[in-house]
Each structure stands twice: as C-alpha cells, then as structure tokens.
Amino acid sequence: MALPNFALLAQSILSGIFTGALYGLLGLGLSLSWGMLRQINLAHFALAFLGAYLCYQLSTVNGMDPLATMLVIVPCFFAIGVALQWIFARFRISAFNSLLVTFGLTVIVESVIQSVWTADFRRLASGYSDMKFRVGVLYVPVPELLTLMLSLTLSFAIWAALRYTDLGRAMRASAEDAPIAAAFGVNQKGLALLLSGVCAALAGVAGVCIALSYTLAPAQIYTWIGVVFAVVMLGGLGRALGPLIAGILIGVSESVTMAVTAPSWAPLVSFSLLIVVLLVRPGKV
Amino acid sequence: MNGFVRRFAVCIILLAGVFTIGAAPGDPPIRIGSTLALTGPLASTALVHKLTGEIYVEGLNRRGGLLGRQVEWIVKDDQSKPELARTLYEQLITVDKVDLLLGPYATGAILSAMGVAQRYNKLLVHHTFGIPSLAKYDAQFPTWSLGPDPATTFPNTVLDALASTPKPPKTIAIVTSKFPSVHFMSLGAREIARKRGLQEILFLEWEFGNRDFGAIAARIKDANPDFLWVGAIGLEGNQLLDALKKIDYTPRYHFYMYPAPGPMAQAPEAKNALAGTIFEQDPPFTDNPSAAEFSKIFNERATKAGLPYSRVETQAAASYTAWQVLEAAVTATKSLDDKVLAEWLRTHRVDTIQGKLRFDGPSNYGDDLMRVKQVQNGRWVTVWPKAFAAPGATLATP
C-alpha cells in the first residue's frame, strides 16, 4: 500500500468533509425527531428526495435559482412536518410503529416521485454546477461548499436555539420528561408540532443540497439510509451538533479509505466506527 | 317474402362465417408473460423495455398476431428484485398460465427467471443477460449478442478500436463497480490489457451504490492514464464524471461498461466517452426496414413518455430482438410447444435488427456482435468496427 501524495490526500479529505456535511444535514432532522419526538422517521429520506425533485422542477421548469427554491420548499415542508406530527399524535403511533409507518410513507413518496418525474435519472443543470475555485492544489466545488455552509449554519443555529432560548429549553425538558415539563406549563403538543415541522424543513434543505450536487433517481432514497443512521447514532440522538461532527468524521474516514486502499472498503468504515463507539462508550450513543 | 328473408338471413350467416373462420374471434389470445423492473433502481432502463414491448405487441397484433391469434403481454413489476422475479415467474406459469415467457430485465432477475423456467421446462428468450457462463439452462436464448466469452472478446474490440487511432494508449487505469455483470468484464479487460502490453497504473473497485466518487476521481487524476476503463453501470459513470469535472480532470480515452444512455450522452463532460453497443439508430443498422420503422415509432413514444434519450440504442434493440426471436420461432414451427420452439431456435438463425443471431454456441450464445460507440455532439454514434460506423463518424481522439 503506497502512501498517496499530498494533493491526492488533501483533495480526498476535502471531498470527505463535503460528503460528511451532507450526511450531517440529513442526519440533523432525523436525530432531532428520533431523540426528541421518539419517532424513527424513515420518511425523512423520502422528504429529502422530494425536496430535491421539487428543487429540480422549480429550477428547470420555472427558472428559479436553486437556492431560491428553498423559499418555497422550506415552508411547504414545514407544513408537511406539522401535518405528519398531528397524525402521529392523533393515532398515538409508538416509536417502533413510527418506523413501519414512515417506511410505508417512504414507499408512497418514491412512487409519487416516479409517477411525476419517471424513474429516469434527472440532473439539475444550474449555474452552480460548474462553479469551483482553487485554493493551492485543492479544487473547491461551490455546490458542495454551499452544502457545508448550510450544514454548519443550521447545526449551530439549532444547537444555539436548543441551548439558549426558552423554546429550546422547553423542547429539551419535554424530551427529557414530558409529564414534568407539562406540569411546568410546557405546551408539549405545540412544541412537537413545531419540532416536526423544523425536521421536515431540514429535510427540504438537504434535498436542495442533494439536487445541487447529485444526479437524482427515485431509488436513490434508500442508498443514504444506512450511513445516515450510523451518523445519527454516532452523533447521539436529539443532539444538534452530533450528526455534523459524526457525518464529517465518517465522510473523511470513507474518503481517506478510498484514497489509501481499495474504495470497496469504504462502506465498512461507517459501521466499523459505530461498532467501536458502541463497544467503547455504549452510554454515549 | 318469407323465403327471401330466409335466404337473406342464410347468406348473412354464411358471409359472417366466411369472414370469421380466418380470424377465429373465439380463440383466446396468446398470453406472453414477463416481469420488468418497473420500480426500484433498475427502473429507468426497464421502462425502455416496457415501451419496446408495447410497441412490438401492437405491431404484432396489427399484423394478425401469432398463429392467427392476438397476443396479450402480461408484464409484472419485479421491483428490481431478483427474488421477487422468481416468485412472479412462478405465478405467471402456475396462476396466469401464460403460453410463453419472455425474460425480465438485467442479469440477476434473468437468472432467477431461468431457474423457474427450467423447473417447468419453459422456453425463456431473454434480452439483457450479462454473464453467459452462468446461463446453464438449455432452453434459454439470449438476444443481447455478447458472444459466449464477452470478458475476452469485448475488451479486445475496445482496444482494437483504440489501437487504430494515431496515438494508441500505453497506460490504462481500470476502475470498476463490483456489480457482478460489470465486474467480470472489468477483470477480463484487465487480463486483455496485460496481454496486449498496456501498463496498468491503477486498479480500483467500489461497492455498487457508492455515493462519493471524490476520492476515486482524485486517484484517477493522480494516475493520469492514457485510457480509463470504467466498469460502471447506470448512474455510476455520470457520478464519476461529475467528480472528475470538479477537480478539473478530463480523461483522454474513457470507456464506460453499461452507462445510462441519456444522462451520459447529454453530459458535456462525457464528450468522446466510449461504450459498447449492439445497435444505434443510424445506418447501417437502420437500413433494415423493421429497424427503421421501430426507431420512428420508438422516438415518438419515448419523447411522449418523457424519456431523456429517445433514440433507439442497445437496450431497446435487445428487447425488440427478443420479441423478434419469439415471433420467428412460433411462426416457423406453428407451435406454442416450448420444446419444439427451443429445438427450432437451436438449429436456426433468426434475422433481427441486430443482424442474424444464432444460438448454437456455448450457453446458446452465438456471434459476438458488440461494437463500440462514442458520445459525439450529445448523442451516441457507432464508431467501431468501421463497417458499422455511423455515416461520417470516426473515433474521435483527444
């Protein structure tokens, strides 16, 4: 195994950071709904891809700037998230059942995507696609950089909101011990609706990032599930910064593995890391 | 008056009888069953096969069907899952009681269907099986004319094409998905390149479903080969090209095993990309009248269906050929008996839009009719062998 040169290694690490940022962004909403709402929301991936296709549609057909599509997608997805939470609460769906229900939703969303946009591959050709710049020996693609910036901004914003605002404290208290929080006047139902809306909106933002950087196909929904679940578990449930850190850790590990050894070893990295953390620090996951 | 009415009625009945004896409207249609990956990761290509099948069956019924009976195609969705294809083929035979079978899309599902067909001694004509050595059943008939040993013959064809250029490659990088029907071809290319004296400067494998091609692209750029062989299927080729573009690297000669035809032809970074083909919608292929007619209808329907690449290429041609082979066997033998049909196919050549196919080689594979195509001006054109090159097309060099 020969050591790669600096440029190759640095470019691979950068690529890993970008991929990890997207893992983190996808994992953020999933982690919050799992940790704070006790819902294992598989439909999060389907919503992200629905967001990606809407971004594609609004940009390609309606001529909107891909980033401006967030002005439409985020409120719509917030409403979808609120509606989902209302249904979950109305029918008292347990954590385990939420896995089954949201898997069903994922299949439905996949079918909707396929019937509207067909199973063919779709690629968003925007002004951002070809934008990149050089920093020394490194090439920095702008769409991936935007994903990193969005991921960092949203993760820190949500972390700060949960930590420093009354609303955030109420949410954490509600997740910790709902009856006691309710006894202190916390409107648990309202907060759950708000949080579910935020999680769905985050899926919409992740979808825009996916559309900016990746070719779309309905079945691609499932290719992200395994690694993002590993990111969420590694980052800790209900934590805002955890998925970002875990995502970048896994993304960089995968990229470095691909740069140094056989790329076919890369998928083992995320799950090996997860197993190691589960063995070494079981209480932290 | 009564006598006139009686005679008139008898005439009408006789006339009706004359007109209906030939068409035999009471005869049930011949039912041909298959599955396709109408959903799931293989759906984008399987939709091409669905469209082709619909066009063929409509045309066949307009021509009077098979043995004077109309043809009904029962197609079920195997969701890109070989294990489901197995169940559905079992269902087609035992519950739907179809008269004939046609293969599903892609190697894994075909292998599953082949097992079921063998269990019930059914004929299986299939269009997209990529690993001939795995086709052990003697009543299976492939219509993608790869030849019995494509891992040897096809890389030779590609390297022959490159050897004909003013600056033939001296170094090669082989990067490949571990998707079975792609992987074995890449390993074959590795062996053939070594035998032909090309220096292998990079060999990489990735798992099918890989998302991040950044590091792989960086390693290709670092190796900077004269010729890049990409064992990619579907989207993977585009994903790698995207990643290469992001680091400002354009491969000199680059080949993709089974690319998604539309996205690759339309991507600017895929300029001069090479791939294999059995048919492209240009002369000399379209000199065949049925190929020309099919191409015209396919273009209209594909555009209407919103397919991103509406020209006929390998997938549609292989699919159309499967129907042609089935029709030829039934018409020649005037039989729906699977044994009779299989026996006829083993001993006869069938004229198809790919050329004449035979099924008397190992695993019922005949001649290797694979050619080399290239992305030129946003569409695929055949460039090698020269006898099959599109009018005016030559292999573009870097």
Q: What is the ipTM of this complex?
A: 0.84
Cβ of A141 under 8 Å from any chain B Cβ? Answer: yes
The pair of structure tokens assigned to B368 is 């290797």
Cβ of A243 under 8 Å from any chain B Cβ? Answer: no
- Report whether B365 contacts B356 (CB < 8 A): no
Q: How far apart are CA A142 and CA A147, in angstroms?
A: 9
Q: Taking the mean position of all CA atoms in its chain, how far away is CA A68?
A: 19
Cβ of B321 under 8 Å from any chain A Cβ? Answer: no
Q: Give all strands of the β-sheet with B140-142 in edge-to-edge order.
A: B71-77, B30-36, B100-102, B124-126, B140-142
Q: Do B215 and A120 touch (CB under 8 A)?
A: no
Confidence grade of residue B37 (pLDDT, cut at 50, 70, 90) = very high
**In B, which residues are within 8 Å of A218 by CB distance?**
39, 43
Question: What does the pLDDT average to over B271-292?
Answer: 96
* Helix or strand holding residue B330 (H, E): helix B314-333
Cβ of A4 under 8 Å from any chain B Cβ? Answer: yes
| DSSP, res B130 | -
pLDDT on residue A2? 61
Percent of chain B with pLDDT over 90: 83
Q: How far apart are CA B72 and CA B69, in angstroms?
A: 10
What are the pLDDT digits (tens) for B360-396?
999 999 999 999 999 999 999 999 999 999 999 999 9
CA distance B316 to chain A (A): 15
CA distance B165 to chain A (A): 31
Q: How far apart are CA A238 and CA A31, in angstroms?
A: 5
Q: Do B238 and A7 touch (CB under 8 A)?
A: no
Within a domain: residue A84? yes
pLDDT on residue B18? 43
Q: How far apart are CA A141 and CA B166, in angstroms?
A: 35
Confidence grade of residue B21 (pLDDT, cut at 50, 70, 90) = very low
Collapsing DSSP to helix, strand or coil, B398 comes out as: coil
CA distance B247 to chain A (A): 5
What are the pLDDT digits (tens) for B175-228?
999 998 899 999 999 999 999 999 999 999 999 888 889 999 999 999 999 999
**In A, which residues are within 8 Å of B246 by CB distance?**
132, 139, 141, 144
Cβ of A106 under 8 Å from any chain B Cβ? Answer: no
pLDDT on residue A96? 85
Counting Cα atoms < 13 Å in the Cβ hemisphere of B161 gives: 29
Among left, alpha and beta (phi > 0; psi -120 to 50; other), residue B378 is left
Number of domains making up chain A = 1
pLDDT on residue B266? 87
Q: Nearest to residue B123, comparing CAs of B144, B147, B98?
A: B98
- Report whether B233 contacts B257 (CB < 8 A): yes
User: Which chain B residue has the Cα nearest residue A111?
Assistant: B39
pLDDT on residue A101? 94
Checking if the pLDDT of B139 tops 70, the result is yes
Low-confidence ranges of chain A (pLDDT < 70): 1-3, 282-285
User: Which chain B residue has the Cα nearest residue A214?
Assistant: B239
Collapsing DSSP to helix, strand or coil, B351 comes out as: strand
Cβ of A224 under 8 Å from any chain B Cβ? Answer: yes
**In B, which residues are within 8 Å of A256 by CB distance?**
215
Query: Which domains are seen in chain B, by residue range?
Result: 30-148+286-370 (3.40.50.2300), 151-278+372-388 (3.40.50.2300)
* Residue to test with chain B: of A17, A18, A139, A144, most B Cβ within 10 A: A139
Give contacts of A 161-220 with B, CB under 8 A. 213-215, 217-220
Within a domain: residue A1? no
* Helix or strand holding residue B199 (H, E): strand B199-206
Residue labelled with tokens 């694979």: B370
The pair of structure tokens assigned to A227 is 């690694």
Q: Nearest to residue B326, comparing CAs of B46, B71, B22, B64?
A: B71
Strands B274-277 and B371-376: antiparallel
The pair of structure tokens assigned to A197 is 């809306």
Cβ of A262 under 8 Å from any chain B Cβ? Answer: yes
User: Which chain B residue has the Cα nearest residue A251?
Assistant: B212
The pair of structure tokens assigned to A176 is 């910790």
Q: Do B219 and A251 touch (CB under 8 A)?
A: no
Angle at CA of residue B90, ends B87 and B92, nearest 5°? 110
Q: How far apart are CA A275 and CA A282, in angstroms?
A: 9
**In A, which residues are within 8 Å of B205 by CB distance?**
262-264
pTM equals 0.86
* Helix or strand holding residue A191 (H, E): helix A188-213
Percent of chain B with pLDDT over 70: 93
Cβ of A123 under 8 Å from any chain B Cβ? Answer: yes
What are the pLDDT digits (tens) for B321-362?
999 999 999 999 999 999 999 999 999 999 999 999 999 999
> For all residues of chain B together, what is the average pLDDT?
92
Q: Nearest to residue A57, comparing CAs of A221, A284, A216?
A: A216
pLDDT on residue B24? 52
* Residue to test with chain B: of A122, A129, A215, A270, most B Cβ within 10 A: A215
Collapsing DSSP to helix, strand or coil, B202 comes out as: strand
Q: How far apart are CA A277 and CA B314, in angstroms?
A: 48
What are the pLDDT digits (tens) for A84-116?
999 999 998 988 899 999 999 999 999 999 889
CATH of the domain at A113: 1.10.3470
Confidence grade of residue B41 (pLDDT, cut at 50, 70, 90) = confident
Cross-strand bridge partners of residue B229 = B174, B255
* Residue to test with chain A: of B183, B212, B220, B249, most A Cβ within 10 A: B212
The pair of structure tokens assigned to A80 is 């979808």
- CB count in 10 Å sphere of residue B22: 9
Q: Do B206 and A266 touch (CB under 8 A)?
A: yes
Cβ of A5 under 8 Å from any chain B Cβ? Answer: yes
**In A, which residues are within 8 Å of B305 by CB distance?**
118
Backbone angles phi, psi at A162, to 5 degrees: -70, -30
Q: How far apart are CA B85 and CA B82, in angstroms?
A: 5
A219: domain range? 6-284
User: Which chain B residue has the Cα nearest residue A13?
Assistant: B215
Cβ of B304 under 8 Å from any chain A Cβ? Answer: no
Confidence grade of residue B19 (pLDDT, cut at 50, 70, 90) = very low
- CB count in 10 Å sphere of residue B387: 8
Within a domain: residue A192? yes
The pair of structure tokens assigned to B141 is 């008939």
Q: How many residues does chain B have?
A: 398
**In A, which residues are within 8 Å of B178 by CB distance?**
264
pLDDT on residue B333? 98
CA distance B246 to chain A (A): 6
Q: Do B215 and A255 touch (CB under 8 A)?
A: yes
What residue type is assigned to position B125 of the chain?
V
